[in-house]
Structure 1
Amino acid sequence: MKLKAVLVGTKGWADAHAKAYQECDRIELVGICGHSNVDRLNQLADQYMIPHRSLNLAQLLQDTSPDVVDIVSSADARLELVKVAVQFPSVKLINIEKPLALTPSEAYEIAEICKANQKLVLVNHQHKYLPAWSTARKWLQDGAIGEIEFIRASTKVNIMEQGSHLIDMVMFFNDFNPVSWVMGQTGAYEGKDSSSIIAPDESMATVLFDNGVRAIFECGAFARSIPGETNPFYHIGIDVYGSEGHLKIDLNQKLELRNYTTHQHVVQKSSWEDSYMGALVTYMDSIEGYVSDPEAGHICDLEHSMLSYQVMMAIYHTSKYGGKVALPHQFEDSIVERYIDQAAQLK
């Protein structure tokens, strides 16, 4: 029997989620909840033949008794929606679009109330399921470039937007090894990119993992460009250097592996445009396995997602206070709120 899901949100990525559910084998979309745009709610419900629709999440959950609540609404509304979802016994898992939250206190509260109510949580980092990126991780695990020594990762969109995916992918490539410390710097908020999420326009950081791997992150307009791309959201790349070679992958261009010892050189296509829907379907279908066996964990579960969220917050923290910060660390909201204040002053 398939799991039942309710989709919360009608803008942006909600359309992709609704479409992906039509292709899932293990989970079906039984309801959709909007905030205020009735026309958009009805359009999506009609287009994807979603049986139930409502502007009231509590009522919708009461009517449908779903196993999964899939929250794709704007990030500033997610905590309140989680508070509603955890009240319903039928709900086993809450899926949240990235970033997990806009402030540390919201992230911690989401984690606490879900744990208190015995609800599983996933953060939708579906990039892990893109074929080229999944292949890249397998090669790294198999030792195709020897022991990982250094990682360079970049995106031309801000740290809270695509930077959250970028950091998570680096954690994934390094097998989610614990982080020893983070030292970062950020610029001001000037609204240079097209993201709706308020964050510094530029940020960079050095990260040291417990296994000795170092990583450098660059997020924002000043980051390197990926040849052949014109969409800022596609300027995402990770280079991994090992003791015997290197691996380079771009979001929408290519995956390349070179071994210095064997002289192996492999180049494969990496395509977001061709693969993102399949990756999203595979990610959604993976929910059933996690619900059936929570002890097995999931590569996008709350434990893994909080590791990358902590790195992101550490960059904010060291930008404000200087030096470097050891993880784990309890972060304060002021490290991100100052950019919200800057945005308000520009209006």
Structure 2
Amino acid sequence: MEKPVYRVALLGLGNRGWSHLAGFRANADRFWIQAVCSSSRDKLRTVKEQDEAYLTYTDAEQMLAETRPDVFCFATPPNVRLSLIQLAARYGVKAVAMEKPIANSLQETREISRLCREHGIQVVVCHQHKYLPSFAKLMQVVRSGEIGDVVRIHAKTRGWLYNSGTHFVDYMLWINGGNEADWVVGHVHGKSKLDDSHPSPDFALGELHFKNGVTGVIECGYLSPSYLPPERFWTDNRLTVYGTHGYAWAETDGRWAAFTRHSHGRLLEGQELPWSPAVKDAIQAEYTKDLADWMDDRSKRHPCHFEISEHGYEILFAICAASLDHTRVDLPLQSGLHADMIGRMMQELPEV
């Protein structure tokens, strides 16, 4: 039986927008890119030169109203995510593919969640590094039992909290089998990144406790350990998993290592393909293919489904709240903590 081809409308032609476009093109047997929207007429001319069949728009609502797509993909700053989800609900979109972070506040994140549940919208958030060969190797080692039972997970990234940290808290949850955290403590400081398009403290450090007893640490920003030269800043990160019989780690730049019960006292090391445009396109294609499979069959839930990203956002929010309130924060968060965290940090954090 032939599988359906889903109609796609895409908003945003920045770097990530072109990546999403490439992912849909790589799965042309499952997706038809019907329309593209951008505020830049120059970019629209460029995309039209690549395929004259694309309908082009400068207004997202007009695009959705006239094309009624199955999939609405947007690669836009987080401060407009909620308004775009509202459009998706209004025009009967079946699935949304969006960038991270989900929003700029927990209130908006929970409103997005409510709207998508009520309208049956399937949502994927682009934490696509799960598809990297190095991360696949890490997952393979963990699942094989070669390091024993997982007891602790350590994530570190030089990128800041809501830029790269949103990726790595998601990968902590993923490598821990989707088990949620039940409390966090945290520290944040520095205000220079709070006016970024992904507003964040300059450095964040969080201690997590997961419901299955595993503990975790996540550190994001300029005090995070550096393993790579400055020109590899955006891939200078590491996810390490400690077990009862060893440990293993992976980086988005392709390196991995493992010390296991059968490695005979040696550290096994490997180098998959380093991060490059070709690797980026390859993993985006796999991420996009899995969206089609999930739309075909809801039991085949996408690894980057909204619920795991929503909980990851809640954890990052709680790290900030724990720091500002000087306390442990239990999850799920109670309504009294639903403050404007970015605004609080702007007001309360001292200058570095």
Query: Normalising to structure 1: TM-score of the pair?
Result: 0.92
Instruction: Give the structure 1 partner of residue 149 of structure 2.
Output: 147
The more displaced of 215-224 and 227-236 is 227-236
Q: 2:333 aligns with which of 323, 326, 329?
A: 329
Indicate if the aligned counterparts of 1:198 and 1:340 stay in contact, CA closer than 8 A. Answer: no
Instruction: Give the structure 2 partner of residue 33 of structure 1.
Output: 37
Gaps of 5+ in 1: none
Q: 1:13 aligns with which of 5, 11, 16?
A: 16
- Once the two structures are superposed, the pairs formed by residues 307-322 of structure 1 within 5 Å of their partners are 307-322=311-326
Gaps of 5+ in 2: none
Instruction: Give the structure 1 partner of residue 236 of structure 2.
Output: 235
Deviations along 1:225-246, one digit per CA (max 9) or x if unpaired, are: 0134533211111111111111
Instruction: Give the structure 1 partner of residue 61 of structure 2.
Output: 58
Tell me the secondary structure at the aligned position of residue 70 of structure 1.
strand
Deviations along 1:65-107, one digit per CA (max 9) or x if unpaired, are: 3211011111111111111111123x21111100011111111
Q: How far does residue 142 in structure 1 lie from its aligned partner after superposition?
A: 2.0
Instruction: Give the structure 2 partner of residue 79 of structure 1.
Output: 82
Indicate if the aligned counterparts of 1:27 and 1:285 stay in contact, CA closer than 8 A. Answer: no
Tell me the secondary structure at the aligned position of residue 90 of structure 2.
coil
- Once the two structures are superposed, the pairs formed by residues 167-182 of structure 1 within 5 Å of their partners are 167-182=169-184
Indicate if the aligned counterparts of 2:134 and 2:251 stay in contact, CA closer than 8 A. Answer: no
CA distance in structure 1 between the aligned counterparts of 2:313 and 2:22, rounded to whole angstroms: 28
- Once the two structures are superposed, the pairs formed by residues 257-272 of structure 1 within 5 Å of their partners are 257-263=258-264, 265-270=267-272, 271-272=274-275
Would the alpha carbon gap of residues 260 and 236 (structure 1) be closer, same or farther in structure 2, given more than 3 Å must change? same
Tell me the secondary structure at the aligned position of residue 13 of structure 1.
helix
Deviations along 1:190-226, one digit per CA (max 9) or x if unpaired, are: 249x963221000101101112111111100110001
CA distance in structure 2 between the aligned counterparts of 1:286 and 1:319, rounded to whole angstroms: 37
Indicate if the aligned counterparts of 1:171 and 1:308 stay in contact, CA closer than 8 A. Answer: yes
Percent sequence identity is 25
CA distance in structure 1 between the aligned counterparts of 2:347 and 2:52, rounded to whole angstroms: 42
Q: How far does residue 297 in structure 1 lie from its aligned partner after superposition?
A: 2.4
Query: Normalising to structure 2: TM-score of the pair?
Result: 0.90
Tell me the secondary structure at the aligned position of residue 230 of structure 1.
helix
The more displaced of 182-191 and 265-274 is 265-274
Q: 2:26 aligns with which of 23, 26, 48?
A: 23
Instruction: Give the structure 1 partner of residue 135 of structure 2.
Output: 133
CA distance in structure 2 between the aligned counterparts of 1:320 and 1:119, rounded to whole angstroms: 35
CA distance in structure 2 between the aligned counterparts of 1:278 and 1:136, rounded to whole angstroms: 19
Tell me the secondary structure at the aligned position of residue 99 of structure 1.
coil
The size of the alignment, in residue pairs, is 342
CA distance in structure 1 between the aligned counterparts of 2:77 and 2:53, rounded to whole angstroms: 21
